[in-house]
Structure formats: structure tokens, C-alpha cells
């Protein structure tokens, strides 16, 4: 058969060959595009970077979860959160009375490839963890989580002091309390028993890092996250687009269904989608930070994104009017998961303030009257639009130590009791101007300091309204975030609204907010009660147990009794998921963990083509 | 003209010094303490002191001002003389521990390629993200200009055309209707336009994406930018139209226009040659005033449409008390304003030959 090919001249043959190559590339790319599983989502805020020891915001940390691996982590399905091994072979038991914790890293775990490794495969070793721990206290890193390792590990504080004196932070020098026992084993010796120390190693910022990477990209470590996790950073247009792709060196992960609840549809759907498969299943993840609520919501309903987490309360009612699925939701087969995050809000009284502070019976009675007069129901229903529940204790649900039976009637809204308490202790109108005065006859004017933003203003206005109802004058002051932080830290406020999200799911992470020695650090109310501090120290030395839970209960009672806080709310978040996203379940501590997701690409494409 | 330009350039130096002094005073006395924002959830005095030391905010005011001036002049900052100054981990080979087999060779090719010079000076960096500030400005300006240059061109072109039209039919029903529409349009907040337009054109009709940006200029200009551009033009057109109309009316009532008409010059020539040319001076002044704004972009547009421009960057920096970025953007804007003012003054000459430089 003569194809006449010899008759084609050279140029024509070249063009034909080129066309053939281009067509092949086009077909191959089409085929690949069809198979590539891409997840697109938005974050509520912009990230700062991905150097685990230098970041704090949950969005940067949430993305870093996918680049790096902690030694231990939380089981994906277990509620309340349960520690399980990840890079370590097992979750260590506290030794030597809870003062020593030893981790053995699984051999054979590889970092993602990077030019800094000179073309060689780089295995994760114990020294990487040691190096990461040292980085937390390196002043050059300004680590926001340096507090995790202050006054905790034997010899670490002395190591830092010596570095200061020598004017050099010496990574070669060893720390007595951080012992690398062999290639894969690292042991930590603590100054005193602390069973919550274990939780630190499940925090996505306490992860081993390769020293070569930090050295190679010292000028911008934020942009070069190289870890052992399931994904790598493929593209990063700062504060605009973050693209993750699979780490080809990742060893794979299996979903462990042992803690799944048989009656939880999300657990069962996750098992159906993921069980028995080698994770991750998604090839590419594209994240867009969108600060404004409307475009973030519209991008989701416009099918530009695959799911939306922490949906703004203003928009939840569009998909769930009166708590029922809207026609759009039913038509689109959207799933919704509503979760109570491990966080609390509260209004702090400055315990060193002359009017609202103090520990005498009249001081305590006054604060309790203010608490009783504050209309928290309006905060839940109006300010939070029903997307919150009133906090019952300083420990939120889903956190170890939470007691569902603990209920503080003294934090309920009760105007009559509030007025009676004020009358009893002499906070009455003495000059006939219609407003209550101090017992000594001096004017009683409260001040509430808040962050200059809509929610802060609404909360302040509610306080003014509540105080007016019991005849107390209140002034409010709006300040910028940095100023509010400063004023709280130095005690330059009378009352202010605060919030805390769990770093790890143990009540201690919340109760430390009122621990006396933490004044100037995290105890913004400047609460100093010897009995509370004694209980706190006692609880630290105990593992999770009924004995420790009893101590937590007693501490909660003291909080309610002395009222350094007006307990606020636990916010409820709604997460809407398109039906082609498989395995979705919101974790209370981990922020993303994309490895536990899959995508039905056929359903995704069909929906987007409609 | 050369002498005039040189004199104006020379005058920029004290003006810029004044701007810098103002910025410095504002940030140091009113701007709050950035070390608390950077310190994290749980702070301690030692950490706060360390951060202050690293940022240099523990230095006397005159030293800080000197460093600020140096940074503006060079774009570089020099590290503070303390042990905290060395952000680079040691680049020597760590000793090999035979027991742990954990040698980490840090002298890699990548190290050689990217490690910072040890001179102690480096580009000014963001406190929040450690990104080089000059890089932030140069990368963010592109999306901003992608949106704002078409906005300025369209707004000016449409504003002038429509204004000359309505000025020509002044007092008519058309004129009054257009002025009424303009007044109503100006009375509504830009934010409302954005929210409504996103909902209608982005969601209900699906004509445009509600957010996004890409690396491709053509995709941006044809896919992501049209809706923000249209909104900005629509919102900016009403005040521009009213203003330009008044400029044209001022000219139309002048004697030279009456003379031209008496001589039998066509209306088209009167309006487009005589009136337009004379009205261009105030129009040019108005554009000159608006021009620096295009280099900062619209905060609202960039935030609502997730455009990674300079306006959004400044907003994020303000929320994070990221003073190097805010200071740099402010100084940059001051410089741009001065340069544009000079260019506009030079352009007067091109538009109106009667203008002379003194």
C-alpha cells in the first residue's frame, strides 16, 4: 500500500509530525483532566505562610496540616477527639509519673522531594523533631507558640538563657530534657508532671522539619513547606490562591473505622467512601481566601467551590430557612453538617479594677448581679442569629473534662435577682438621678472595651441595654485590635469580650485562662485565687481520669462563684457540602485534613456542566 | 521646561520627608503595639521584648526614624545588633551522631542559591508574612492596574462624551433626566452596587464569576475583570458626568463660542474643537487628582472579588498591624501622587499652548 509519504516534502512532514504530537498531547491532557480529582474551596481569611514553627492563624496551620505530619494525631472519626499515632509508632504513655514521654518514629517515612536534598530521598528521623522543638524558642523565629515549651522541658529554659548570653542560638548544643535515643527515638523529660504535654505533639505546628530545608530557604521559610505529609505546595499566590498536589513520596494512609458511630450518617458515608482505600484520593486542591461573606457564599452556590465551611450565619438561613432544607438545597442534594466547635466566648471583668474587681463578698455580689442582668439570650438569638448556644461552663463540649451535667444557674438571665443583689449590697440610687451609685455614694459608671467591628459593637450595645435595665450606666469604647490586645495584657480595661479556641481538646487549655501565674500572659481577667491555682496545679499532674474531672468541676464552680467571667456562647457552625464530595466530616481540632476526602468527578462535572 | 521639572523634582524631597515624618509619628504614637499582635495567643514579657527588639521598636524614636528613612531610600533594612538578628540557622555541617545517624548536610545547592548575604542588610519585609515588601508592592500593583486602568479610560471617555452631549442639550428633558439619574446613582453606596451586581450578574444570571483571579492577563481581563470594571465605571461615571458637564457649560457660555457660531462654524466643530479643548484643562486636573487612586485600587472591589491587588493587600496589612507594608504603601502613594501631579502640570502645556512654566 502506497501512502504517498515519500512524496511529502520535508517541511510538510515536519508539520504533520508536529500536528500528530500536539494532537497526542491534547488527547493525553484531556484524558488526564478527566481523571484528575480537584477540590476547590475557600477560606474565610488569608493565610500568612507555612513555616509550622512560625505560624499561628488557623488558616495557615490548616493548610500546613497537609504538608507536615505530627508524631501523633486525632482519630478522624472518634468523638470526643482521641489521640492515635501518625508518624510515631504508638501514642506514648507518660513515664516517670507523667514527667517523661518517649516517641519512636516509624522507619521509612520520607520527606517530599526538594532540591535541598540534593536528589536523595530524605528519611524522617528523631533529630528532625528535636530541631523543630528548638526552633520554637529561637528568638529569630518569633514563634507564636513558644509558650508551649517555656518552663516545661528540663534544661530548655537554661539552654535559651545560655544562648542569650552567648549571643548565639546554638542548634548543635543539646538540651538535657530532649534526648535523641537512636535514629528514630526521641524522649522528653519534663520539669513536672504534665499529661497534657502529649497533646502538643498532635498540634499541626509541632511537627518535625528538615534542617536542610530551613537552611536552604532561610530567607523565606514561609514559602517552602517540605514535610512528610500527603500533599506538597504546588503554587502559591499569596493571599489569593494556594494549590496543593499529591506528595509522590507519601506512604499512604488508611481510614481506621474502629471509632465510627453506627448511627452517625457522616461516619458511615466516610467509611463507605474511604475504607480500604489508600489515602489521599484527591490529586489537587485549590484554596482561595475570600474574606467577604457574600462572595464566599455565592461562589459555593455558583458551583465554583465544592463545599463551604463555617457558613456565615446571615446565609445559613438561605439554605436552611427555619432549620428546614430550602428547595435549592433539596434540588442540589446538598449535605449539611452542623458542629459546635471546641471554643467559648466570655466577657471578662478586670479583677484588679476598683469597681468590678475584688474578692470581697460585695465585689463578688456586684459581678454576679451584672452577670445575672446580662441578656445572653439576645446575644444567641439576635447577634448570633441562633447559630450559638449559651455556654454552660468554662470547658466547651467536645473537650476532655466537659461535664454535660454542669449547669450554673448563677449565669442565667434573671433581672429580679440581679436587682435584689445590688440592693442588698448598697448599689442603689443615692443621689436621685435615676442611676445606681456605689455603696459609698460615688457615681457608678462601667466601661466596656471592644474591638472596633460590627460584632463587637453589637455585644457592647447589648451590655449597655442590659445594664440600663438595672439602672447602671455603662460607656463603651471601640478600639483597634492591637490596642485591645495591649489593654487586656496590661489590665487597662474594666470589661471586655474575649474568645478562645482549643489548641488541644483538654479542659486545661481553657482553665489556664484564669490561672493566677498566667496574668500578663493569657489570664486577661487577672484572676488570682489561691484555691483555683492549687486545683489547677493538682490537675496538671493527673492523667484524664474521674479524679481530674472532679477537679475541673470544682474549678468551674469557683469560676461561677467568683464570676471573673460572664460566660458567653459556644458558636454553632454550618458546613454545606456538594453531593460529589465524599467522606466529608468536620473535625473539632484538625482544620482541613484533605486526605480524608474523595470526589465523584463524574457527578462534579455533570453538575458544573448544567 | 527642563528647569521647571528639575525644580519640581527637587521640591519633592522635602515634601516626601514631611510625609515620612507624618507617617512615622502616626504609626509610632497612634498605631498600637505590633509586638502584641505578632506574639500570639499566649504571650509573655520575654517574648514581647524579643519581638520589639527584632522589629526595632524598642529603639529611641530618632533611631527608628533614621532607619525608616534608610528603608525608604534604599528599600533595605539592616538588622538590629543583637543575637536575635540572625534569622538563618547555622550553615555549618552539624556533627554526625553515629548513634542516631542523623547527619543533615545543610550546605546544599539550594542553600547557595537562596541564602541571604551575611552583610546584615536585607529587603524590608512584612512583619506578618516575612515577604519582601518591594515584592509585595510590585506583584500586587499588576492586578490593581488591570482593573483600574480600564476603569479610568472608560470612565473618562464615557464621562466626556456624555457630558458634552448633555451640556449641548442643557435644560432639556434629557439633560434633567440624566442629571436626576446621576444624583440617584451617586446617593447609593458602592457596596450596595457590588452586593447587588454580584448577586444578579454573578449568581442569578451566571454571566460573570463572583470572585477569582488567575496568572493569565487575558483570562483576567476577559473573565474575572469585566464585572468589577463595569461596576467601578458605573459608579464613577455619575459624579464625573456631572462635573464634566459643568466644565462644558462654563465654556459654552463664553464669548468665543458665541463668536464662532456667529462666524458660521458648525456645531460639531464648536463643541469638539473649541469647547472640548478649553474644557480639557479642568478635566485633566480632575483626572490628575483621581490618577494616584488607580495605583492603590479599590479596597471594596478587590476584597469582594478576591482580586489580589494593592488595595486588598493594604487592608489585610492594616488588620494585621503589618506596619512595614502599610508604611511602604503610604510612602509609595505619596511619591506616585507627586509624580503624577508633575506629569499633569507638564501635560497642561500640551493641551493649552497658552500655559507657560515659570
| A125/A136 Cα distance (integer angstroms) | 18
Q: Where are the beta strands (DSSP E) in A86-130?
A: 100-104
3-class secondary-structure state, position A278: coil
3-class secondary-structure state, position A26: helix
Q: Among B33, B50, B136, select the one facing A139 at the smallest CB separation.
A: B50
Q: Look at B108 and A115 and tell me if their CB atoms are within 8 Å.
A: yes
The DSSP symbol for A241 reads E
Judged against a pLDDT cut of 50, whether residue B83 lies above it is answered with no
Q: Among B102, B122, B213, select the one facing A180 at the smallest CB separation.
A: B102
Q: Which residues pair with B122 in a beta bridge?
A: B77
Q: What pLDDT score does B39 carry?
A: 80
Of the pLDDT bands very low, low, confident and very high (cuts 50, 70, 90), residue B90 is very low
Q: Look at A217 and B110 and tell me if their CB atoms are within 8 Å.
A: yes
| A589/A592 Cα distance (integer angstroms) | 9
Q: What pLDDT score does A16 carry?
A: 57
- Which of 468-507 (A) contact B at CB < 8 A? 480-483, 485-486, 489, 500, 503
- Which of 247-276 (B) contact A at CB < 8 A? none
Q: What pLDDT score does B129 carry?
A: 86
Residue A602: count other Cβ atoms within 10 Å of its Cβ: 10
Judged against a pLDDT cut of 50, whether residue B103 lies above it is answered with no
Judged against a pLDDT cut of 70, whether residue A25 lies above it is answered with no
Position with higher pLDDT, A357 vs B291: A357
| A294/A314 Cα distance (integer angstroms) | 9
Most A-contacting residue of B49, B55, B200, B210 (CB-CB within 10 A), to test interface:
B210
3-class secondary-structure state, position B152: helix
- Which of 86-105 (B) contact A at CB < 8 A? 86-91, 94-95, 97, 99-102, 104-105
Q: Look at B308 and A239 and tell me if their CB atoms are within 8 Å.
A: yes
Position with higher pLDDT, A384 vs B113: A384
Q: What pLDDT score does A528 carry?
A: 97
Of the pLDDT bands very low, low, confident and very high (cuts 50, 70, 90), residue A31 is very low
Taking residues A227-252, report their average pLDDT: 95
| A610/A605 Cα distance (integer angstroms) | 9
Q: Look at B32 and A219 and tell me if their CB atoms are within 8 Å.
A: no
Helix locations, A249-386, DSSP H: 265-274, 293-301, 313-319, 327-332, 361-373, 376-378
Q: What pLDDT score does B50 carry?
A: 84
| Chain-centre distance for alpha carbon A144 | 14
Residue A356: count other Cβ atoms within 10 Å of its Cβ: 22
Judged against a pLDDT cut of 70, whether residue B107 lies above it is answered with no
Strand A284-289 relative to strand A38-43, pairing:
parallel
Percent of chain B residues past pLDDT 70, beyond the cut:
87
| B237/B157 Cα distance (integer angstroms) | 10
Q: Among B32, B105, B316, select the one facing A483 at the smallest CB separation.
A: B32
C-alpha cell at A501: 479556641
Hey, is the C-beta of A518 within 8 angstroms of any chain B C-beta?
yes
Beta carbons within 8 Å of B275's beta carbon, 6+ residues apart: B164, B167, B248, B251, B252, B257
| B269/B244 Cα distance (integer angstroms) | 19
Q: What pLDDT score does B3 carry?
A: 84
Judged against a pLDDT cut of 50, whether residue B183 lies above it is answered with yes
Q: What pLDDT score does A601 carry?
A: 94
- Which H helix or E strand runs over A388? strand A388-390
Helix locations, A54-125, DSSP H: 58-64
Of the pLDDT bands very low, low, confident and very high (cuts 50, 70, 90), residue A510 is very high
Angle at B338 between CA B335 and CA B339, to 5 degrees: 85
Hey, is the C-beta of A520 within 8 angstroms of any chain B C-beta?
yes
Of the pLDDT bands very low, low, confident and very high (cuts 50, 70, 90), residue B58 is confident
Position with higher pLDDT, B21 vs B293: B21
- Which H helix or E strand runs over B37? helix B34-39
Taking residues A338-359, report their average pLDDT: 95
Judged against a pLDDT cut of 70, whether residue B117 lies above it is answered with no
Taking residues A275-286, report their average pLDDT: 96
Hey, is the C-beta of B56 within 8 angstroms of any chain A C-beta?
no
Position with higher pLDDT, B235 vs B117: B235
Judged against a pLDDT cut of 60, whether residue A22 lies above it is answered with no
Lowest mean per-residue pLDDT among A277-281, A564-568, B35-39, B328-332 = B35-39
Judged against a pLDDT cut of 50, whether residue A5 lies above it is answered with no
The DSSP symbol for B190 reads H
| A202/B230 Cα distance (integer angstroms) | 49
Taking residues B176-191, report their average pLDDT: 92
Among residues B260, B329, B318, the alpha carbon closest in space to that of B295 is found at B329
| A205/A225 Cα distance (integer angstroms) | 12
3-class secondary-structure state, position B125: strand
Q: Look at B40 and A126 and tell me if their CB atoms are within 8 Å.
A: no
Nearest CA in chain A to B81: A167
Beta carbons within 8 Å of B10's beta carbon, 6+ residues apart: none
* pLDDT tens per residue, range A298-343: 999 989 999 999 998 889 988 999 889 999 899 999 999 999 889 9
Q: What pLDDT score does B110 carry?
A: 38
Residue B291: count other Cβ atoms within 10 Å of its Cβ: 19
Q: What pLDDT score does A484 carry?
A: 86
Measured CA to CA in angstroms, residue A387 lies from A43, A170, A564, B62 at distances of: 19, 50, 25, 51
Q: What pLDDT score does A12 carry?
A: 59
Q: Look at A292 and B108 and tell me if their CB atoms are within 8 Å.
A: no
Q: What pLDDT score does A11 carry?
A: 56
How far does the CA of residue B187 sit from the closest CA of chain A (Å)? 22
| B150/B152 Cα distance (integer angstroms) | 5
**Cell numbers 456586684 correspond to what residue?**
A366
Q: Look at A486 and B39 and tell me if their CB atoms are within 8 Å.
A: no
Q: Look at B85 and A140 and tell me if their CB atoms are within 8 Å.
A: yes
| A394/A568 Cα distance (integer angstroms) | 9
Taking residues A51-56, report their average pLDDT: 95
Q: What pLDDT score does B348 carry?
A: 80
Position with higher pLDDT, B280 vs A306: A306
Q: Among B39, B45, B95, select the one facing A144 at the smallest CB separation.
A: B39
Residue A432 backbone zone (phi > 0: left; psi -120 to 50: alpha; other: beta): left
The DSSP symbol for A424 reads H
Q: What pLDDT score does B114 carry?
A: 39
C-alpha cell at A453: 467591628
Of the pLDDT bands very low, low, confident and very high (cuts 50, 70, 90), residue A14 is low
* pLDDT tens per residue, range A472-482: 999 999 987 77
Hey, is the C-beta of A219 within 8 angstroms of any chain B C-beta?
yes
Percent of chain A residues past pLDDT 70, beyond the cut:
94
Cis peptide before A59 (omega within 30 of 0): no
Which of A403-407, A463-467, B174-178 has the largest mean confidence?
Answer: A463-467
- Which of 377-436 (A) contact B at CB < 8 A? none
Q: Among B86, B87, B110, select the one facing A216 at the smallest CB separation.
A: B110
Position with higher pLDDT, A170 vs B32: A170
| A296/A306 Cα distance (integer angstroms) | 12
Q: Look at A219 and B41 and tell me if their CB atoms are within 8 Å.
A: no
Judged against a pLDDT cut of 70, whether residue A220 lies above it is answered with yes
Q: Look at A142 and B316 and tell me if their CB atoms are within 8 Å.
A: no
Q: What pLDDT score does A9 carry?
A: 58
Which of A248-257, B123-132, B257-266 has the largest mean confidence?
Answer: A248-257
| A47/B130 Cα distance (integer angstroms) | 12
Q: Look at B104 and A212 and tell me if their CB atoms are within 8 Å.
A: yes
Nearest CA in chain A to B39: A144
| A475/A446 Cα distance (integer angstroms) | 6
Q: Look at A221 and B215 and tell me if their CB atoms are within 8 Å.
A: no
Strand ranges of the sheet holding A445-451, from the earlier edge strand across to the other edge = A473-479, A445-451, A495-501, A343-349, A565-567
* pLDDT tens per residue, range A531-566: 999 999 999 999 999 999 999 999 999 999 999 999
Q: What pLDDT score does A18 carry?
A: 60
Query: Residue B257 phi/psi, 5° resolution?
Result: -70, -45
Q: What pLDDT score does A129 carry?
A: 98
Judged against a pLDDT cut of 90, whether residue A27 lies above it is answered with no
Q: Look at A48 and B33 and tell me if their CB atoms are within 8 Å.
A: no
Nearest CA in chain A to B83: A167
Q: Where are the beta strands (DSSP E) in chain B?
A: 76-78, 121-123
Measured CA to CA in angstroms, residue A495 lies from A380, A557, A567 at distances of: 19, 21, 13
Q: Where are the beta strands (DSSP E) in A21-114?
A: 38-43, 72-74, 83-85, 100-104
Taking residues B297-305, report their average pLDDT: 88
Judged against a pLDDT cut of 90, whether residue B320 lies above it is answered with no
* CA R_g for chain A: 28
**Cell numbers 449641548 correspond to what residue?**
B168
Position with higher pLDDT, B126 vs A593: B126
Q: What pLDDT score does B55 carry?
A: 82
Residue A520 backbone zone (phi > 0: left; psi -120 to 50: alpha; other: beta): left
Helix axis angle for B173-187 and B226-252, nearest 10°, is 130
Q: What pLDDT score does B323 carry?
A: 86
Q: Look at A147 and B47 and tell me if their CB atoms are within 8 Å.
A: yes
| A450/A478 Cα distance (integer angstroms) | 5
Contacts of A210 in chain B (CB under 8 A): 104
As for the ipTM of the complex, it is 0.78
The DSSP symbol for B253 reads T
Among residues B32, B31, B14, the alpha carbon closest in space to that of B23 is found at B31
C-alpha cell at B35: 509586638
Q: Look at A139 and B198 and tell me if their CB atoms are within 8 Å.
A: no
Taking residues A431-459, report their average pLDDT: 94
Contacts of B94 in chain A (CB under 8 A): 171-172, 211
Nearest CA in chain A to B200: A298
Give the DSSP per-residue string, B39-82: H-SS--HHHHHHHHHHHTTTS-HHHHHHHHHHHHHHSEEE--SS
Q: Look at B38 and A215 and tell me if their CB atoms are within 8 Å.
A: no
Size of interface A-B (CB pairs under 8 A): 233
Judged against a pLDDT cut of 60, whether residue B118 lies above it is answered with no
Q: What pLDDT score does A19 carry?
A: 59
Q: What pLDDT score does B93 carry?
A: 45
Helix locations, A167-210, DSSP H: 197-200
Taking residues B285-295, report their average pLDDT: 85
How far does the CA of residue A243 sit from the closest CA of chain B (Å)? 12
Nearest CA in chain B to A608: B206
Most A-contacting residue of B30, B31, B36 (CB-CB within 10 A), to test interface:
B36
| A285/A30 Cα distance (integer angstroms) | 19
Helix axis angle for B323-351 and B276-294, nearest 10°, is 170
Amino acid at each position: 500500500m502506497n501512502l504517498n509519504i515519500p512524496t511529502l516534502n520535508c517541511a510538510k512532514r515536519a508539520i504533520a509530525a508536529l500536528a500528530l504530537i500536539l494532537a497526542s498531547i491534547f488527547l493525553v491532557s484531556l484524558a488526564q483532566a478527566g481523571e484528575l480529582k480537584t477540590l476547590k474551596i475557600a477560606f474565610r481569611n488569608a493565610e500568612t505562610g507555612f513555616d509550622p514553627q512560625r505560624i499561628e492563624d488557623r488558616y495557615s496551620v490548616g493548610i500546613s496540616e497537609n504538608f507536615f505530619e505530627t508524631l501523633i494525631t486525632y482519630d478522624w472519626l472518634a468523638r470526643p477527639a482521641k489521640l492515635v499515632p501518625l508518624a510515631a509508632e504508638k501514642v506514648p504513655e507518660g513515664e516517670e509519673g507523667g514527667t517523661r514521654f518517649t516517641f519512636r518514629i516509624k522507619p521509612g517515612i520520607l520527606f517530599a522531594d526538594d532540591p535541598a536534598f540534593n536528589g536523595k530521598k530524605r528519611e524522617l528521623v528523631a533529630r528532625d523533631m528535636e530541631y523543630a522543638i528548638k526552633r520554637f524558642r529561637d528568638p529569630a523565629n518569633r514563634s507564636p507558640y513558644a509558650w508551649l515549651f517555656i518552663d516545661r522541658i528540663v534544661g530548655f529554659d537554661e539552654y535559651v538563657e545560655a544562648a542569650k548570653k552567648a549571643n548565639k542560638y546554638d542548634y548543635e548544643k543539646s538540651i538535657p530534657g530532649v534526648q535523641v535515643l537512636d535514629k528514630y527515638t526521641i524522649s522528653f523529660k519534663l520539669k513536672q508532671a504534665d499529661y497534657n504535654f502529649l497533646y502538643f505533639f498532635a498540634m499541626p505546628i509541632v511537627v518535625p522539619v528538615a534542617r536542610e530545608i530551613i537552611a536552604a530557604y532561610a530567607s523565606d521559610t514561609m514559602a517552602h513547606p517540605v514535610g512528610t505529609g500527603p500533599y506538597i505546595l504546588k503554587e502559591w499566590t499569596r493571599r489569593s490562591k494556594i494549590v496543593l498536589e499529591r506528595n509522590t513520596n507519601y506512604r499512604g494512609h488508611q481510614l481506621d473505622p474502629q471509632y465510627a458511630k453506627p448511627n452517625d450518617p457522616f461516619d458511615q458515608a466516610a467509611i463507605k467512601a474511604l475504607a480500604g482505600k489508600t489515602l489521599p484520593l484527591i490529586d489537587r486542591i485549590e484554596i482561595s481566601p475570600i474574606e467577604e461573606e457574600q462572595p464566599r457564599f455565592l461562589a459555593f452556590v455558583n458551583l465554583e467551590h465544592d463545599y463551604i465551611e463555617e457558613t456565615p450565619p446571615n446565609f445559613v438561613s438561605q439554605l436552611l430557612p427555619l432549620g428546614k432544607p430550602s428547595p435549592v438545597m433539596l434540588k442540589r442534594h446538598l449535605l449539611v453538617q452542623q458542629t459546635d466547635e471546641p471554643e467559648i466566648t466570655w466577657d471578662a471583668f478586670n479583677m484588679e479594677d476598683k469597681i468590678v474587681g475584688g474578692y470581697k463578698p460585695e465585689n463578688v455580689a456586684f459581678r454576679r448581679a451584672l452577670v445575672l442582668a446580662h441578656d445572653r439570650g439576645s446575644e444567641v438569638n439576635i447577634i448570633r442569629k441562633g447559630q450559638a448556644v449559651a455556654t454552660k461552663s468554662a470547658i466547651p463540649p467536645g473537650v476532655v473534662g466537659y461535664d454535660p451535667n454542669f449547669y450554673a444557674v448563677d449565669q442565667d438571665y434573671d433581672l429580679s435577682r440581679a436587682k435584689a443583689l445590688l440592693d442588698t449590697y448598697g448599689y442603689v440610687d443615692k443621689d436621685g438621678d435615676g442611676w445606681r451609685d456605689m455603696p459609698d455614694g460615688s457615681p457608678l459608671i462601667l466601661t466596656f472595651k471592644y474591638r472596633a467591628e460590627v460584632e463587637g459593637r453589637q455585644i457592647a450595645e447589648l451590655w449597655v441595654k442590659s445594664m440600663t435595665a438595672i439602672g447602671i450606666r455603662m460607656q463603651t469604647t471601640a478600639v483597634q485590635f492591637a490596642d485591645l490586645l495591649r489593654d487586656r495584657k496590661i489590665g487597662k480595661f474594666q470589661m471586655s469580650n474575649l474568645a478562645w479556641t482549643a489548641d488541644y481538646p483538654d479542659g486545661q487549655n481553657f482553665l489556664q485562662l484564669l490561672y493566677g501565674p498566667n496574668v500578663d500572659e493569657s489570664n486577661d481577667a487577672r484572676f488570682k485565687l489561691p484555691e483555683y491555682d492549687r486545683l489547677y496545679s493538682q490537675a496538671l499532674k493527673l492523667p484524664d481520669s474521674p479524679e481530674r474531672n472532679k477537679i475541673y468541676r470544682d474549678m468551674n464552680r469557683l469560676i461561677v462563684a467568683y464570676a471573673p467571667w460572664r460566660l458567653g456562647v459556644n458558636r454553632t457552625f454550618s458546613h454545606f457540602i456538594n453531593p460529589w464530595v465524599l467522606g466529608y466530616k468536620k473535625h473539632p481540632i484538625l482544620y482541613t485534613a484533605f486526605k480524608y476526602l474523595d470526589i465523584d468527578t463524574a457527578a462534579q462535572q455533570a453538575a458544573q456542566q448544567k | 521646561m527642563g528647569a521647571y521639572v528639575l525644580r519640581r523634582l527637587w521640591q519633592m524631597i522635602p515634601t516626601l520627608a514631611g510625609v515620612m515624618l507624618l507617617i512615622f509619628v502616626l504609626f509610632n504614637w497612634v498605631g498600637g503595639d505590633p509586638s502584641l499582635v505578632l506574639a500570639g495567643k499566649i504571650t509573655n514579657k520575654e517574648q514581647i521584648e524579643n519581638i520589639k527588639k527584632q522589629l526595632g521598636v524598642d529603639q529611641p524614636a530618632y533611631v527608628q526614624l533614621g532607619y525608616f528613612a534608610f528603608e525608604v531610600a534604599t528599600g533595605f533594612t539592616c538588622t538590629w545588633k543583637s543575637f536575635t538578628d540572625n534569622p538563618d540557622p547555622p550553615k555549618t555541617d552539624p556533627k554526625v551522631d553515629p548513634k542516631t545517624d542523623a547527619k543533615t548536610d545543610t550546605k546544599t545547592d539550594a542553600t547557595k542559591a537562596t541564602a541571604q548575604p551575611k552583610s546584615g542588610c536585607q529587603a524590608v519585609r512584612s512583619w506578618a508574612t516575612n515577604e519582601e515588601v518591594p515584592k509585595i508592592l510590585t506583584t500586587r500593583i499588576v492586578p490593581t492596574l488591570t482593573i483600574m486602568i480600564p476603569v479610568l479610560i472608560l470612565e473618562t471617555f464615557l464621562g466626556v462624551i456624555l457630558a458634552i452631549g448633555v451640556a449641548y442639550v442643557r435644560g432639556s428633558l434629557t439633560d434633567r433626566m440624566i442629571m436626576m439619574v446621576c444624583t440617584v446613582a451617586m446617593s447609593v453606596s458602592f457596596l450596595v452596587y457590588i452586593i447587588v451586581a454580584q448577586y444578579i450578574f454573578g449568581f442569578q444570571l451566571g454571566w460573570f464569576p463572583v470572585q477569582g483571579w488567575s496568572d493569565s492577563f487575558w483570562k483576567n481581563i476577559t473573565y474575572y475583570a469585566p464585572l468589577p470594571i463595569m461596576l467601578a465605571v458605573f459608579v464613577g461615571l455619575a459624579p464625573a458626568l456631572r462635573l464634566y458637564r459643568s466644565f462644558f457649560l462654563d465654556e459654552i457660555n463664553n464669548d468665543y463660542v458665541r463668536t464662532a457660531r456667529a462666524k458660521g462654524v458648525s456645531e460639531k466643530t464648536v463643541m469638539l474643537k473649541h469647547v472640548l479643548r478649553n474644557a480639557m484643562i479642568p478635566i485633566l486636573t480632575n483626572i490628575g487628582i483621581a490618577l494616584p487612586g488607580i495605583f492603590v485600587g479599590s479596597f471594596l472591589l478587590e476584597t469582594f472579588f478576591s482580586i489580589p491587588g494593592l488595595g486588598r493587600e493594604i487592608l489585610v496589612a492594616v488588620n494585621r498591624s503589618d506596619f512595614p507594608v502599610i508604611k511602604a504603601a503610604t510612602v509609595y502613594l505619596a511619591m506616585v501622587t507627586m509624580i503624577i501631579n508633575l506629569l499633569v502640570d507638564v501635560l497642561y502645556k500640551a493641551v493649552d499652548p497658552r500655559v507657560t512654566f515659570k
